[in-house]
Structure 1
Amino acid sequence: MPTVAATPVVKPQAAAPTAPPPEPPPAPPVEAPPAVEPAPPQLLAVPAQHEEPPPPVPQEFIPPPPPPRRASNPMIGAVLGPYAIKRVLGHGNWGSVFEAVQEQVNRTVAIKVLEPELHEDPAKVAQFSSLASRMANRRHNNLVAVYEAGEFGGVHYYAREFIEGRTLQEIVESPQKLSPAHTLRVLMGVARALLYLLHHHIAIGPVPGKNILVDTINGEPHVCGFSFMDGTSGELGSSAATEMPQLAQMLWNALDPAAPQSQQVYGLLRRLLDPDHPFPSLEHLLSEAEALERTFHKPVVKRAKSASAQRPAIKPIMPGKTPLSQRLQKKHYIMGGAVAGAVVLAVAGWFVFQQFTKLPPADVETFIQVPAGEFIYQSGEKKTTKEFWISKYEVTIGQYRKFWTRVKEKGDKNYAHPKQPKNVDTTHTPVNWDWMQAACEAGQQLGDGHPITDDYPIFNVTYWDAWAYAKWAGGRLPTQEEWEKAARGTDGRLYPWGNSLDDPKRANTGKDYDDINRGRIDGYLQWAPVHAHPGDTSPFGVRDMAANVCEWTDSWVPMLNNPKEQVPIIRGGSWADTEVRVTQRQSNVMAHQGRNDLGFRIIRDTAPPVVGK
């Protein structure tokens, strides 16, 4: 039986209290659609009370009704090579999809079986096997993994990853509605999958809703099948105008219009449905969607109950009688003593547990030497850097406090960037700085139960803040080339540790930034101490280059969607990002803006002085 080797599958950000984003302008009123059957209505969502309804959608983007389900399949109960067929999952252009069990390893898989009438067409059989082979050699978090392809008893099939969830088409047809954050997650996941296939020279077209599986565990979308890869849907040209309108229409109908921030998401989807003003590329769409998603992030802080909220003790008053509590005073003393002893033991045990489980302080003043020489930059270009030393960790809240205290007292005259605008705050106080300091001092718990400390990375800083700190600390901000070399080494790897995100606990990413996981995968819902994830370490030993917070660099480029404006490049992923390849770049934040998932680190051109000498 011929087989196609497949690569196994891999794993999947957030924020300090920031002011909520300004409300978008109300959408224009919409006329009710004509009551014509069997055409579907132009808008399936019911507008929220006290809100303007979302605008109408062009009729040509209304998807056709799904095909009717077929009768029960004779394949149920059959054995196909090592797979026992259990039930039908769906039907597509190439054939039926079944849930099956790979009996040797007791693994649940999905089996795609080629339609019987296509077995007589050698060209279709060859195309089916070729497409399965191409997908088996591709790995991406938003693509369903293909394990193998083969033929058994004259039946051609391929086995793929089984995703517990529903298709986007099923969600659209159900009463369930998606939140704005979940809608963006689906949109961005599909866009990333398309970009990945594009970069691997796989021509595809718009992805039907039946080919998008939404995982019930974490809400991640997974593109499956390849009915959209057969050339009948058009070839992928990295244009959001051709690949995304069908998806935008489905998400439009699935979005909950009553949810806060839904109008902002409708605005993004409206642009995808406007053929006269399309996004220039999938990269531009993805960048804008990620920027919009970050405005949704709000901090989740656990606050202790105040003493005044505790219920006072009630003393019984019984005329002419001594209260029972006094008559049994000795017994109560004994019981109270036992309870008090148990409480003391519990507190002592908790204290010991905390001492053994909490992280030791980070050696935040450490610098790592990166030797001069050549390295692979971006998608294969070879570049050369001089020798430099880069801070092992991202600059922490504790480190930034020392700088802030200095410039608050004496000003930033000796540290400010020569081109720093006059209206920039010369004390370089980040947004929500008072909360940040008070929370660190009190050890305030965040939404994941961890107390925030001085070893957490500084965030909400502008480029001007980062540049001034670097000057004060005797260093400078890295160029984007220096940053990338320190992050991926010299061999062109995609992540600091290798070429796949094989362990979801390795880095503090946005894979668990949702209402379901809430930080349970990598241990942190939002920020993490800069030394909490030793798995996120580059070949040179630099930490958190893939995630935690993304970082300012000193390289400037034209701003995304506004090329007349120059902005600093931002590198790396963060706790709010589900894709954290170190080749990613952002150019959509202006120098005077900060963000709750954005920090920095510094470099030096000479070896730092040895502490204590």
Structure 2
Amino acid sequence: MKPDDEDETPSADDGAQFPSAKAIGELEALTKKKASAARALAAWKIVTAASTNSDAHAVMDFARDHELVQPCEHTDPTTRANLSWVNPIDGSQMIWIPAGKFTYGTGGESAYCAGFSLARWPVTNEQYAQFIAETGYEPDQAHPDYDAYLSNWTSTGPPKGKEKHPVTFVSLFDAFAYCKWAGLVIPTEWMWEKAARGTDGRPYPWGTGAFGNKKLAHVEAASTCEVGKFSHVRSPYGCEELTGNVSEWCQPAAPKAAIGDFPPLNPVVSVPGPSETVETGVRGACYLRTSAESMKSNHRRNLSVARRNQWVGFRPACVLPVRPA
């Protein structure tokens, strides 16, 4: 920690000049409470809610200095790099993807990406139901694909027996709303590909061979399956089902963004009008796919951001270099 006479942290009375002053005050109040799961959750909600502020670094620094959050980077060089943690808001298991270069595309190109965390599995029906219960979320009825929203659910919730299947029939905007509640973001295609290919640039999340696809991923199937069914097949960092089960929404790159840059924390994507097309990339072969080419980590396809269908879900990320205490 800095000495008091060098501390640049804004006080709670500086709200006009420092957008995060209120958050600092709330964190300061938490330091007077005993460490507990409730305190960790409260601190994490404050830190993630303030992450879009211009002075968000002050909130993160205060939280780290007072051990209200923990760094994701290992300080012990003998510890495995793929640290995992649980997001206390939605229960997602998050995998830390360390900073470094990664291979992307079909020509062996490489780029640098800072460290981030990516969910081990796609968001499930059960998690999405929790989001609705806590927020009352309902999409805009003017949305071009409104009638398809959660069209496989019943009036009481997810299909019986499929609570732990990936949620589908959600648009990119529905995924954005979920992530805002959960303190997470939709990853870019480059973040997704870095997590899938690891440091060695492997063509498939599991390695180099495409043989026995049905044993390696949930493909050539009639429907989704419960997440975690292919835990023996992981990307180099520990993420599962990057191939198979559902394809996953990725966030459009910001204008003039370099490959490897993080997405905006406040995404601005237009809802397409009746005669307009706005598309983004989806990654990962879904359960319907049969070709080995579609199962590669660089495989992508464009999809309207308003589309809701049975084969696309989403897997959230966290771009903060910290995790809950």
Amino acid across the alignment from 1:402: Q
Distance 2:211 2:246 in 1: 20
Distance 1:502 1:385 in 2: 30
Deviation at 1:565, TM superposition (A): 3.2
SS in 1 for 2:281: strand
2:317 matched to 1:603? yes
Residues 484 and 582, structure 1, Cα contact 8 Å, conserved in 2: yes
Q: Among residues 512, 536, 543, which one is paired with 2:233 in the alignment?
A: 536
Distance 1:530 1:506 in 2: 14
2:185 matched to 1:457? no
SS in 1 for 2:154: helix
Distance 2:299 2:305 in 1: 19
Q: Among residues 496, 502, 511, which one is paired with 2:205 in the alignment?
A: 496
Deviation at 1:608, TM superposition (A): 5.9
SS in 1 for 2:240: coil
Residues 494 and 582, structure 1, Cα contact 8 Å, conserved in 2: yes
Amino acid across the alignment from 2:142: N
Q: Among residues 96, 103, 117, which one is paired with 1:389 in the alignment?
A: 117
Number of residue pairs the alignment of both structures matches? 209
Deviation at 1:498, TM superposition (A): 0.7
Residues 188 and 252, structure 2, Cα contact 8 Å, conserved in 1: yes
Distance 1:427 1:472 in 2: 23
2:248 matched to 1:551? yes
Distance 1:595 1:569 in 2: 15
- Compared CA separation, residues 538 and 592, structure 1 to 2 (3 A): same
Look up the match of 2:152: 432
Residues 152 and 159, structure 2, Cα contact 8 Å, conserved in 1: no
- Match runs of 1:348-387 below 5 Å: 365-379=92-106, 380-387=108-115
SS in 2 for 1:369: strand
Distance 1:508 1:585 in 2: 18
- Match runs of 1:469-548 below 5 Å: 469-503=178-212, 504-510=214-220, 513=221, 525-548=222-245
2:297 matched to 1:582? yes
Residues 393 and 544, structure 1, Cα contact 8 Å, conserved in 2: yes
Residues 367 and 608, structure 1, Cα contact 8 Å, conserved in 2: no
SS in 2 for 1:483: helix
Deviations 1:546-584 (A, max 9, x none): 111000000269xxxxxx833111011011011311111
Distance 2:230 2:219 in 1: 11
Comparing 367-376 and 486-495, the one that deviates more: 486-495
- Compared CA separation, residues 439 and 565, structure 1 to 2 (3 A): closer
Q: Among residues 265, 276, 284, which one is paired with 1:572 in the alignment?
A: 284
- Compared CA separation, residues 435 and 492, structure 1 to 2 (3 A): farther
Residues 497 and 535, structure 1, Cα contact 8 Å, conserved in 2: no
Residues 556 and 566, structure 1, Cα contact 8 Å, conserved in 2: no
Structure index of larger Rg: 1
Deviation at 1:494, TM superposition (A): 1.2
Deviation at 1:597, TM superposition (A): 0.9
Deviation at 1:406, TM superposition (A): 2.8
Runs of 4+ with >6 A deviation: 425-428
Distance 1:456 1:386 in 2: 30
Residues 396 and 456, structure 1, Cα contact 8 Å, conserved in 2: yes
Residues 387 and 605, structure 1, Cα contact 8 Å, conserved in 2: yes
- Compared CA separation, residues 422 and 460, structure 1 to 2 (3 A): closer
SS in 2 for 1:384: strand
- Compared CA separation, residues 505 and 474, structure 1 to 2 (3 A): same
Deviation at 1:386, TM superposition (A): 1.1
SS in 2 for 1:437: coil
Deviations 1:399-452 (A, max 9, x none): 0001122332xx57xxx9xxxx78239999522222783532xx3xxxxxxxx3
- Match runs of 1:153-192 below 5 Å: none
2:132 matched to 1:423? no
Q: Among residues 401, 404, 410, which one is paired with 2:129 in the alignment?
A: 401
Amino acid across the alignment from 1:456: H
Deviations 1:324-354 (A, max 9, x none): xxxxxxxxxxxxxxxxxxxxxxxxxxxxxxx
Distance 1:470 1:391 in 2: 12
Distance 1:609 1:375 in 2: 23
- Compared CA separation, residues 459 and 578, structure 1 to 2 (3 A): same
Query: Identity over aligned residues, as a percent?
Result: 30
Distance 2:155 2:322 in 1: 32
2:312 matched to 1:592? no
Amino acid across the alignment from 1:600: F
**RMSD of aligned residue pairs (Cα, Å):** 2.8
SS in 2 for 1:423: coil
Structure with the larger helix share: 1
Deviation at 1:469, TM superposition (A): 0.6
SS in 2 for 1:547: coil
Residues 536 and 545, structure 1, Cα contact 8 Å, conserved in 2: no
Amino acid across the alignment from 1:399: Q
- Compared CA separation, residues 438 and 481, structure 1 to 2 (3 A): closer
Distance 1:600 1:432 in 2: 16
- Match runs of 1:61-210 below 5 Å: none
Distance 1:438 1:529 in 2: 13
Residues 487 and 582, structure 1, Cα contact 8 Å, conserved in 2: yes
Amino acid across the alignment from 1:577: R
Amino acid across the alignment from 1:496: P
Deviation at 1:368, TM superposition (A): 0.4
